[in-house]
Structure 1
Amino acid sequence: MTDRLKALADAGVSIWLDDLSRERIETGNLTELVTSSSVVGVTTNPTIFASAISNGERYDDQVRGLVADGADADGVIFALTTDDVRNACDILAPVAAATKDDGRVSIEVEPTLANETDATIASAKALWAAVDRPNALIKIPATLEGLPAITEVIAAGISVNVTLIFSVERYRAVMDAYLAGLEKAQEAGIDLPTIRSVASFFVSRVDTEIDARLEKVGSDEALALRGKAAVANARLAYAAFEEVVASERWQALAAAGAHAQRPLWASTGVKNPAYPDTLYVSDLVVADTVNTMPEKTLQAFADHGEVTGDEVSGKAAEAQAVFDQLTAVGIDIDDVFVTLETEGVDKFKVSWTELIDTVKAQMAAVAGPTQA
């Protein structure tokens, strides 16, 4: 089964697991995925941590100690999540040492700060200091307020996973923010080769939103476009990436040792059961990219995924034609991306609330009936 994952990795796609738990760390499962399934990185989010903390008892002792020390829910979350990410970073450290850009583990700034630049910067710096591992990545959402935060955090020498990117327009702004951060870091005398970044371009949610709108239109022309927008959008994003890395501005930074901000395909679990469950992996194979997958998608690709070569390069015109057709049948593309970002931020905030509620329940449980 892992031969298919190896073929994907050999095609230049870095396979990252979109999941983390203390159980994966302590049972050796994460190590096994690294050694046997070509997994070379990990991404996390509040929903992932809420699930991990609520399942099993591996966090109870630490929660009990933190409660005894007077920690509130935010303090418990910070301690639990940074510990897990630090330990995962240690497991991935050999990969980081053996590769140019992999072996990375991401942790997200508090989602409620998505529209607050200064607070995002402060949160990113606190997480970076707490994890204290060079192969960590701090996730910052690509909101308008997040863009200057990305620049300032990169300028401080902190590696960043920019998340929640939907449109190519915003992706271009993200790449500009990264280059500006590198330029400021260079001016400050920071060693550019120590900085890494990925830009997480969300995939499946684009089809979910656009497909629903196409079904409301209901014409044969509209219905024939279902399931095409997400891959086309990602292919246009990759074409934008190619433009940036060919620019004189980037070449000057590369000459100083800077690493490219690789495109990362996120939200690659297929939501529509009518589509192949490996669609957002097999149709987005191209070198020097990352695909972060939930375990279900990872297992599906290991079982029956196919690698048929580069599926992205040179397909920008074909991808643009899809969007021209979407516009022609009445889809407001700009509104799609505004909706997706707004909903994305809201979902992040809901996930954060769920994480807080989960941790509070754990705190009450370990405190016992006399202290609850």
Structure 2
Amino acid sequence: MTDRLKELSDAGVAVWLDDLSRVRLATGTLDQLRTEKHVVGVTTNPTIFAKALSDADAYDEQLRELADRGVTVEEATRALTTYDVRWAADVMRPAYDASEGQDGRVSIEVDPRLAHETSKTVAEAKALWWLVDRENLLIKIPATLAGLPAITATLAAGISVNVTLIFSLERYGKVIDAFLDGLEQAKANGHDLSKIASVASFFVSRVDTEVDKRLDKIGSDEAKALKGKSAIANAQLAYKLYEEKFGGERWAALKAAGAKPQRPLWASTGTKSAEFKDTIYVEELIAPGVVNTMPESVITAYADHGETRGDTVTGQYAAAQQVFDGLAAVGIDFDDVVEVLETEGVQKFEASWGELLEGLAKSLDAAKKGASSPSDAA
């Protein structure tokens, strides 16, 4: 039987899971994905945690303990989420050791409400790094304008970073520069560069969703012919930029000091339209040294019918540029597209964080009432 996920891994793609929950950890399904499906990393976000913590039963014991301590909702949120991430980091430790620190990474995001506040983002990144206390952790920081100096400062402190919410090539270039700045400062600060990891999370499917909506509104044959092409083309050109930036003298000096490159990570790789094959954002973005973080449904789909055709990125740069030329010709303002996507991305994570806090407040309140009931006291 063909092991399609092994073929994908052998082609240079690190398979990471875009999900985490206490149930997944307690039942051992995360470890099963590691041992049977070649999953070598985990990403989380506020939406994932909001969904996980909506299952209060899975967190019942810890919720009661937090309620007994009288902690705030904010403190309880961090206690619960960092507990899960710490556990996941331990599950992924064999992949970390086997890859000499390249994989086996688990991500946790700073409070999305801090996306436009540099110093607070850095402070929270340091706090999360301390709370989880696992060297295979990645702190997720959004690639907002305020996030860029926060990325540099966090790396300079010797903390590994997952840069999230990247949509445009222009911003991606600045993310790479922020990474290089951070490593140069980390080296000056005496940190071991071989221990510092980073990925740059380039969002994929959301680009098609926004662009295709605009193409449908234009409605011409030329516009319709471009549907479903912009996200993959955007990511392919991002890899071209990655090759250029990590092929120069500046990176060579850091590499000589033990640094590992900031790998491109394809995020948001579940299809949002039934018109597309469910594995399209994996099959069309295969290249050496990339990460693809997928929902379990996409991992399962790829294991069943995914096609690994070798490198589907580096030979496609001219065709990818033609897609963008076509988008401009039919009147798509891609700068506006990515601005909308970044704004919406931050807002969606803020909304999920709000839902998480609201749900957790209710769960803590219920735990307090349960602890003070006569039956419990007896």
Instruction: Give TM-score scaled by structure 2 length.
Output: 0.97
Q: Measure, in 2, the Cα distance between the counterparts of 1:341 and 1:370.
A: 43
**Alignment partner, residue 76 of structure 1:** 76
Q: Measure, in 1, the Cα distance between the counterparts of 2:97 and 2:370.
A: 48
Shift of 1:53: 1.5
**Alignment partner, residue 244 of structure 1:** 245
Please show how residues 39-54 of structure 1 align to structure 2 within 5 Å.
39-54=39-54
**Alignment partner, residue 170 of structure 1:** 171
**Alignment partner, residue 91 of structure 2:** 91
Q: Measure, in 2, the Cα distance between the counterparts of 1:52 and 1:2.
A: 33
2:314 is paired with a residue of what secondary structure?
Answer: coil
Q: Is the 1:182–1:253 contact (alpha carbons within 8 Å) kept by the matching residues of 2?
A: yes
**Alignment partner, residue 38 of structure 1:** 38
Once the two structures are superposed, residues 256-312 of structure 1 have per-residue CA deviations (whole angstroms, 9 ceiling, x without a partner) of 000000000000000011110001001101110000001111111111111011000
**Alignment partner, residue 308 of structure 1:** 309
Gaps of 5+ in 1: none
Q: Measure, in 1, the Cα distance between the counterparts of 2:36 and 2:55.
A: 25
Q: Measure, in 1, the Cα distance between the counterparts of 2:122 and 2:260.
A: 21
Shift of 1:27: 1.1
Letter in 2 for 1:79: A
**Alignment partner, residue 195 of structure 1:** 196
Q: Measure, in 2, the Cα distance between the counterparts of 1:112 and 1:53.
A: 19
Q: Measure, in 1, the Cα distance between the counterparts of 2:154 and 2:109.
A: 13
Q: Is the 2:129–2:159 contact (alpha carbons within 8 Å) kept by the matching residues of 1?
A: yes
Q: Measure, in 2, the Cα distance between the counterparts of 1:85 and 1:270.
A: 26
Q: Is the 1:2–1:36 contact (alpha carbons within 8 Å) kept by the matching residues of 2?
A: no
Q: Is the 2:207–2:230 contact (alpha carbons within 8 Å) kept by the matching residues of 1?
A: yes
Once the two structures are superposed, residues 196-244 of structure 1 have per-residue CA deviations (whole angstroms, 9 ceiling, x without a partner) of 0000000000000000000010000001100000000000000000001
Q: Measure, in 2, the Cα distance between the counterparts of 1:158 and 1:228.
A: 36
Gaps of 5+ in 2: 374-378
Q: Is the 2:286–2:312 contact (alpha carbons within 8 Å) kept by the matching residues of 1?
A: yes
**Alignment partner, residue 326 of structure 1:** 327
Letter in 2 for 1:23: V
Q: Measure, in 1, the Cα distance between the counterparts of 2:142 and 2:203.
A: 12
**Alignment partner, residue 279 of structure 1:** 280
Q: Is the 1:140–1:163 contact (alpha carbons within 8 Å) kept by the matching residues of 2?
A: yes
2:297 is paired with a residue of what secondary structure?
Answer: helix
Letter in 2 for 1:48: I
Q: Measure, in 1, the Cα distance between the counterparts of 2:129 and 2:342.
A: 25
RMSD over aligned Cα, in angstroms?
1.2
1:134 is paired with a residue of what secondary structure?
Answer: coil
Q: Measure, in 1, the Cα distance between the counterparts of 2:30 and 2:145.
A: 35
Letter in 2 for 1:125: K
Q: Is the 2:56–2:363 contact (alpha carbons within 8 Å) kept by the matching residues of 1?
A: no
Q: Measure, in 2, the Cα distance between the counterparts of 1:88 and 1:359.
A: 21
**Alignment partner, residue 317 of structure 1:** 318
**Alignment partner, residue 298 of structure 2:** 297
Shift of 1:46: 1.3
**Alignment partner, residue 21 of structure 1:** 21
Q: Measure, in 2, the Cα distance between the counterparts of 1:298 and 1:95.
A: 17
Letter in 1 for 2:203: F
**Alignment partner, residue 223 of structure 2:** 222
Q: Measure, in 1, the Cα distance between the counterparts of 2:307 and 2:372.
A: 55
Shift of 1:105: 0.2
Q: Measure, in 2, the Cα distance between the counterparts of 1:346 and 1:108.
A: 14
Letter in 2 for 1:160: V
Letter in 2 for 1:209: E
Q: Is the 1:2–1:37 contact (alpha carbons within 8 Å) kept by the matching residues of 2?
A: no
1:14 is paired with a residue of what secondary structure?
Answer: strand
**Alignment partner, residue 61 of structure 1:** 61
Letter in 2 for 1:208: T
Q: Measure, in 2, the Cα distance between the counterparts of 1:10 and 1:170.
A: 30
1:275 is paired with a residue of what secondary structure?
Answer: coil
Q: Measure, in 2, the Cα distance between the counterparts of 1:370 and 1:242.
A: 57
Q: Is the 2:197–2:262 contact (alpha carbons within 8 Å) kept by the matching residues of 1?
A: yes
**Alignment partner, residue 376 of structure 2:** none
1:47 is paired with a residue of what secondary structure?
Answer: helix
Runs of 4+, deviation exceeding 3 Å: 369-372
Q: Is the 2:67–2:365 contact (alpha carbons within 8 Å) kept by the matching residues of 1?
A: no
Paired residues, number: 372
Letter in 2 for 1:364: D
Shift of 1:2: 7.3
Q: Is the 2:222–2:330 contact (alpha carbons within 8 Å) kept by the matching residues of 1?
A: yes
Q: Measure, in 1, the Cα distance between the counterparts of 2:23 and 2:8.
A: 27
Shift of 1:58: 2.0
1:58 is paired with a residue of what secondary structure?
Answer: helix
